[in-house]
Amino acid sequence: MKIRVGQGYDVHRLAEGEELWLGGIQLQHTHGLVGHSDADVLIHAICDAILGAANLRDIGYHFADTDPAFKGIDSKILLKQVMELVRKEGYELSNVDATIVAERPKINPHIPAMKECMAKVMEVEANDISIKATTSEKRGFVGREEGMAVHAVALLIKA
């Protein structure tokens, strides 16, 4: 059995008038994330972690932000395609661990829904997805509520 680990990191800017999508669900907030797609920073970091573990480069390589085909795309579609890519290489997801760094809104109440949503898309158990949330203690761009960041790690297994 071969085991591989990958790390992902993503950042998106917050702006008024945008929708806030995290982990495939929409959260109600005064600001949303800005990006070429729906800017789901959690899914993007997880995609990078999974792709990295399989040595398949990164999300930008597969879904370029210069490609009009991905303008406004639902990041759940990208996540599903990432899982198809790694399964084609013979890998299966063991688990994902992600940390969302944001001052507001409160993330913890939404974690169960995010896990269920992504587990369905990824065709894994919700228990295989760990999501945590923290703040940056009012420091940096996250602390000033200019954006959000996510760190993610994925473990893949190849039989």
Tens digits of residue pLDDT in 24-33: 999 999 999 9
Could you read off the pLDDT of 37-66 as tens digits, one per residue?
Answer: 999 999 999 999 999 999 999 999 999 989
- Does residue 4 have a known ligand-binding role? no
Query: Which of left, alpha, beta for 140 (phi over 0: left; psi -120 to 50: alpha)?
Result: left
Euclidean distance between CA atoms 43 and 98, whole angstroms: 10
Is 90 annotated to bind ligand? no
To the question of whether residue 144 is assigned a binding role by annotation, the answer is yes
> What residues contact 35, with CB distance under 8 A and at least 6 apart?
12, 41, 65
Residue 151: strand pairing partners: 9, 99
Q: Has 86 been labeled as part of a binding site?
A: no
Q: Is the dihedral of CA 67, 69, 71, 75 positive or negative?
A: negative
d(CA 53, CA 20) in angstroms, rounded, equals 28
Is 65 annotated as a binding-site member?
Answer: yes
- The answer to the question of whether 151 is labelled as a binding residue is no
Could you tell me the domains of the chain? 2-158 (3.30.1330.50)
Checking DSSP bridges between strand 129-134 and strand 91-101, what pairing results, if any? parallel
Percent of the chain exceeding pLDDT 70 equals 100
Is 40 marked within a binding site? no
* pLDDT above 90 coverage of the chain, percent: 93
pLDDT in tens, 110-153: 999 999 999 999 999 999 999 999 999 999 999 999 999 999 99
Mean pLDDT across the chain: 96
